[in-house]
Chains A and B, each alone.
Chain A
Amino acid sequence: MRIGRSIGAAVIAAIAVVALAAPGLAPQDPYRSGVAMLDLPSATHWLGTDDLGRDVLSRMIYGARASLAIGIGAAAVAMLIGVPIGLVAGTMRGRVDLALVALIDLFIALPGLVLALIITVMVGANLRNLIIVLGAVMWPPIARLVRGQALAVREAVFVEAARATGGTQVWIIRHHIWPGVLPVVAAQFSISVSFAIFTSASLSFLGLGIPPPAADWGGMVRAGYDYLAINPWMSLAPGAAVSLTVMGFYVIGTSFK
């Protein structure tokens, strides 16, 4: 698993560099269309051009930005909702726990992609909304995981000691439960990022993600799908980029479990 983690970290680091340095790295303007449409890869267009004559490689480089922003943003939102709920449920036990678990069970049964589809169309697809919507559908498993961890940590002797010396619930959560839960949360964060990128790319592929002409991997795969027989790179290259990114974050996350 260690080798996997290193490879995953290297892949993600490379993609992050590409996203940050996109304006310097992209050989051409990702939004400028040209007369050379659906060209195969050549010296000027390394991955060829799309149906509007735009440089596929440049669009792919810019697409890294949207993917990373949505992935990290949505995972952060999901953590902000799921971690406190899980911590409180796991530490307090009793009626609060029962109510929160019922809430988690209600939401965990709902299919994330389907829910995201509906909400995204209602609120309108843009970067900010997608981050919020994906975060909002991804929190239940995180809450469940954190609750389970908190339940285990709260049985530790040091928590009992803190309680015996009159520590408040907030103090105990902050200083004793949270540090014990943190490693699992960190690993889960990476997995959540991969899931968010996976789902947002699927939304884009269905035509319900970030609207065109934005450079977005899922949208590019969709656009290239119709021209698979003419310039397959238009679809396969951004599809490979999504897969690599998802795989990278997933491998990093699972290697810590």
Chain B
Amino acid sequence: MVRPMLRLIVRRMLLMVLTALAVSALLFFSVTKWLGSPASMMLGQDASPQAIAALNAKYGFGQPAITQYLHWLGGALRGDLGRSYTTQQSVAQAIAIRLPVTLELTTWSVTLAVIAAVVCNTVPVARTPLRRIVTAVNLVGITVPNFMLGISLIFLLSVQLELLPSTGWVPWSDGMGAHLMHMIMPVATLSSYYFGVFSIVYRAEYQDVIKRPFIGVARAKGLNEWRVAFRHAAPNAILPVITFVGISVGQLTGGAVVTETIFSMPGTGRLFVASIEGRDFPVMLAIGMLIVVGVVLMNLLADVAYTIANPQIRHES
């Protein structure tokens, strides 16, 4: 039982390393070609040729791309991701202070979305208005872009009703109330998309499960519909959602980028956009890698969780 799981983990880890290497090399080589001279960019347009040459020597910009890549890779493995071209700050440090914001935003959003999706689609009140509302919210969540949702919320709740602060972010240390007030709209924005996706996946499975014989047995025993739905059907329908949480974290990073930009949150997503706009290659590369590793890692976690939750899979593999 333990061995297939171990094999799965090892295989996924290998895939992760391969993906990370491939993506970093791809990014590195295409970007070094496209970027031109980072030295002249760091020093501005009026830099003297001597100053550029000195900086080239210091950072090794003059060396062939493959040497630079291996150098970067060596540093990255030791946790040294280089320095930002624009702020000279250590990249690892810049990411470390912003990562908690992104992680908190995504954790809240995914958790809420999963709970809401499961509860809304399990409540045994078929063909009532609630069902229609859930379907409508699903569609809105999936098709209305994050930026539109976010801006509508700001317009409604901040500009019109003046209930919530429109943008910005307050750390926990400045008070839990203020912190949570600033989190409401970003979390609502980001989780609505995931609610839609999870809801569709969960409902398809749920409608399949509810037709199985053991549900009939549970009903025949005289259990009420609520107990049948939540105690017997839901746990059996939740499996595909677990896998999907892993898969969707990929798109989630994209959603987090937009959401952090709308609400001016100091997270990695916004740093990423800023690094792209400012051609700040070390920052861009590091966050790009972080996202890729995160996506593969989440997929792995989802697979492991799935295997634990479903003994059948364990025996098959």
Contacts and interface: CB of A to CB of B under 8 A. Distances in A.
27 contacts: A106-B19, A110-B19, A112-B254, A113-B253, A113-B258, A118-B276, A122-B34, A201-B147, A202-B258, A205-B147, A205-B258, A206-B257, A206-B273, A207-B277, A208-B276, A208-B277, A221-B148, A228-B154, A229-B159, A232-B155, A239-B148, A239-B152, A240-B148, A243-B143, A243-B145, A247-B144, A250-B142
B261 interface: yes
Interface of B: 15, 18-19, 22-23, 27, 30-31, 34, 139-140, 142-148, 151-152, 154-155, 159, 250-251, 253-255, 257-258, 261-262, 272-273, 276-277, 279, 284, 288, 291-292, 295-296, 299
A198 B34 CA distance: 27
A201 B148 CA distance: 10
Contacts of B277: 121, 207-208
B interface, over-half SS: helix
Given A117-B276, A122-B30, A246 B147 contact: no
B145 A246 contact: yes
Contacts of A112: 250-251, 254
A58 interface: no
Interface string A118-142: 1001100000000000000000000
A242 interface: yes
Interface of A: 105-106, 109-114, 117-118, 121-122, 194, 198, 201-202, 205-208, 218, 221-222, 225, 228-229, 232, 235-236, 239-240, 242-243, 246-247, 250-251
A236 to B, nearest CB: 7
A27 B235 CA distance: 57
Given A109-B295, A194-B143, A250-B143, 7 more contacts: A106-B19, A113-B255, A113-B258, A202-B146, A222-B147, A225-B151, A236-B152
A11 to B, nearest CB: 11
A110 B295 CA distance: 7
Contacts of B295: 109-111
Nearest to A207: B277
Nearest to B249: A111
Contacts of B257: 113-114, 117, 206
Nearest to B31: A122
A228 B30 contact: no
Contacts of A221: 147-148, 151
Nearest to B277: A207
Contact of B292 (A110, A207, A232, A250): A110
A119 B155 CA distance: 32
A105 B288 CA distance: 18
A16 B7 CA distance: 52
Contacts of B159: 228-229, 232
A247 B148 contact: no
A228 B272 CA distance: 25
A112 B262 CA distance: 19
B254 A118 contact: no
Contacts of A239: 145, 147-148, 151-152
Contact of B155 (A111, A198, A236): A236
A51 to B, nearest CB: 16
A205 B279 CA distance: 18
Nearest to A246: B143
A194 to B, nearest CB: 7
Contacts of A247: 139-140, 143-144
A117 B256 CA distance: 13
A246 B140 CA distance: 10
With most chain B CB atoms within 10 A of its CB, the pick from A109, A111, A118 is A111
Contacts of A225: 151, 262
